[in-house]
């Protein structure tokens, strides 16, 4: 059911994922500069905001803080899975893997590598944590104000 709090959560997490992706781009070795990276990650954030944070509102502002962190972590997981799967498909088209099992295992290896790159940069992690809490509070406020 569409509500104002779901819309606010979707917009807030889309903005958060766009900003965090923009910060993450400069950490990448190849310096991926295409706009699709930012837009797809914003879409993942919007989906997570709508589906996860949108249903976790009306539980109080304290719960909104942890729900915001949970939603940001979920968006991070899905973004890593999407982009590492896409990279694995590119590698498998170049015949870098011996079989499908090795290719699927490589996705999790890539997720580990990029995740490690993420957690070593404090700016991206602080952006995700603080931004997730603020987006959660914003969605909770919208649920009290408009729903």
Please list the ranges in the chain whose pLDDT falls under 70: 31-33
- Return the pLDDT at 31: 65
CB contact at 8 A, 13 and 142:
no
Looking at 56-121, list the stretches that DSSP marks H as alpha helix, in order from N- to C-terminal side.
61-93, 100-119
* Residue-level pLDDT at 15: 98
Residue 28, pLDDT score? 82
Give residue 147's pLDDT. 79
What is the per-residue pLDDT for 32? 65
pLDDT at 53 (0 to 100): 97
């Amino acid at each position: 059911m569409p509500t104002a709090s779901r819309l606010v959560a979707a917009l807030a997490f889309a903005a958060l994922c766009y900003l965090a992706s923009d910060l993450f781009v400069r950490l990448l070795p190849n310096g991926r500069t295409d706009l699709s990276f930012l837009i797809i990650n914003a879409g993942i954030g919007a989906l997570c905001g709508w589906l996860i944070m949108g249903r976790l509102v009306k539980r109080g502002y304290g719960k909104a803080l942890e729900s915001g962190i949970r939603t940001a972590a979920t968006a991070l997981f899905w973004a890593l899975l999407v982009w590492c799967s896409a990279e694995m498909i590119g590698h498998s088209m170049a015949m870098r893997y011996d079989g499908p099992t090795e290719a699927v295992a490589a996705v999790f290896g890539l997720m580990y590598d990029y995740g490690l790159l993420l957690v070593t940069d404090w700016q991206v992690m602080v952006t995700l944590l603080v931004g997730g809490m603020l987006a959660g509070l914003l969605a909770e406020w919208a649920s009290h104000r408009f729903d």
